Amino acid sequence: MDFMSITIGFLGLLIGSFLNVVIYRVPRGESIVSPGSHCTACGYALRPWQLIPVLSFIIQKGKCSNCQAIISWRYPAVELLTGILFFFTAAMSLYMEIHLARLALNLVFVSVLIALAFIDLDTFRLPDVLTLPLLGLGLLGAFLIPGNPTGWESVLSALGAGGLFLVIALVYPQGMGLGDVKLVAAMGAFLGFPSIFLAVFAGSFLGAFIGISLLLTDKKRFRQQIPFGPYLALGAILTLLWGNQIFDWYWAWVR
Ligand SMILES: [Zn+2]
| Exposed / middle / buried, residue 45 (Cβ in 10 Å: 0-12, 13-18, 19+) | exposed
Using 50, 70 and 90 to split pLDDT, how confident is the model at 251? confident
Distance (Å) from CA 51 to ligand 1 centroid: 14
Task: Give the pLDDT of residue 219.
Answer: 61
pLDDT exceeds cutoff 70 at 143 = yes
Provide the whole-model pTM. Answer: 0.93
Distance (Å) from CA 113 to ligand 1 centroid: 29
- As a whole number of angstroms, the distance between CA 165 and CA 186 comes to 12
Can you give 77-88 as a three-state secondary structure string? HHHHHHHHHHHH
Query: Which residues crowd ion ligand 1, with CB under 5 Å?
Result: 39, 41-42, 44, 64, 66-67, 69
Distance (Å) from CA 85 to ligand 1 centroid: 30
DSSP 36: -
DSSP SS3 for 221: coil
**Per-residue model confidence as pLDDT tens digits over 92-135:** 998 888 999 999 999 999 999 999 999 999 999 999 999 999 99
pLDDT exceeds cutoff 60 at 196 = yes
Distance (Å) from CA 106 to ligand 1 centroid: 35
| Exposed / middle / buried, residue 228 (Cβ in 10 Å: 0-12, 13-18, 19+) | buried
Average pLDDT, the chain: 92
Distance (Å) from CA 41 to ligand 1 centroid: 5
